[in-house]
Amino acid sequence: MQAFISVFLAVFQAIAAFITGLFGTSSTPITPISGKTTASQSIVMKIGAIDKIRQFEGACSDGEYVYQIMIEPSSSTGGDEKAVVLKIDPKTWTLAENGRSEMLTELNHANDITYDPRIKLLMISNNAPNYTLVSALYPDSLQYKAGMTIEHPLYSLAYVDTGSTSYYYAGISGTYNFGEYNGAFDTIKTFKGIDNGYVKQSIETDNQYLYCLFSDSNCIYKYDFSGNYLGRCFLPNPESGLNSYEAEGIFFHGGKMYVSYNILGKNNGGVICKIDKIEFKK
Ligand SMILES: [Ca+2]
């Protein structure tokens, strides 16, 4: 019996390896540096579920306020996802006055958000199912303005001001690659990112480097604007004793990096953390 099970397992593994090879997902995930994370962080705000709106997505800052997306996932709605954008005063880490948008089906999964100071709008990558759609929202009223269809399917979006003609960097869906775009979302160039096997979430820039956030495992990969990989850092859990946080949003505010996490589980909600220390290692 033992021998039979061993043979069965070997055959099964061989078939699994063959199938994995066929579909090109055979990249070996990089093992997290267990117990040797090089970041430390502290929770600045915890937000509970708002009825069925319970899942954290991307976040950004306009320099004064912080914007956090939460969605009612399709598992709750049984159909279209709905998003709300929360406007948060980071001086007190409380919701700003009228700091919650209405339920917006126009934003779909609303995976990532950035603020464009040229046009004074929040820009959101819709993600599933309208991957090529970028939506604009007024930061004051949190009302939907318009959507625009662009060349690439995106899952993440960051505004950048390097003094050149490029204004956005984005993660291209279905790949680990990135695109650079001008203000009208015409493609300037694309570059190849590392396929680390993790779940792609968000992108942010401090106008010097690109920071790409992943979950499962929660980590950040750093690149320069030429696409050179500069190192990675795994993130510790925001609270000890729990292992159920999903990194979702990354942004800079007041010169500090922040990461927001979805709390996995039935009631969800999430936390926003200030990164106190971070070190990127290759
Ligand atoms: Ca997400």
pLDDT in tens, 159-204: 998 877 779 999 999 999 999 999 999 999 999 999 999 999 999 9
* Ligand 1 geometric centre to CA of 74 (Å): 13
Quote the CA–CA distance of 189 and 170 in Å, as a whole number.
Answer: 11
* Ligand 1 geometric centre to CA of 254 (Å): 24
pTM of this prediction exceeds 0.75: yes
Quote the CA–CA distance of 158 and 117 in Å, as a whole number.
Answer: 12
Positions of the chain with pLDDT lower than 70, given as ranges:
1-37, 76-78, 241-243, 266
* Ligand 1 geometric centre to CA of 227 (Å): 23
* Ligand 1 geometric centre to CA of 12 (Å): 33
* Ligand 1 geometric centre to CA of 225 (Å): 23
Phi, psi torsion values for 16, nearest 5 degrees: -60, -40
Cis amide prior to 75 (ω within 30 degrees): no
* Ligand 1 geometric centre to CA of 267 (Å): 17
Q: Which two tokens stand for residue 38?
A: 């090089």
* Ligand 1 geometric centre to CA of 9 (Å): 35
Quote the CA–CA distance of 65 and 88 in Å, as a whole number.
Answer: 6
Please report the domains of the chain, with CATH numbers, ordered by start residue.
37-278 (2.120.10.30)
- 3-state SS class at 9: helix
Quote the CA–CA distance of 115 and 104 in Å, as a whole number.
Answer: 18
Quote the CA–CA distance of 177 and 87 in Å, as a whole number.
Answer: 30
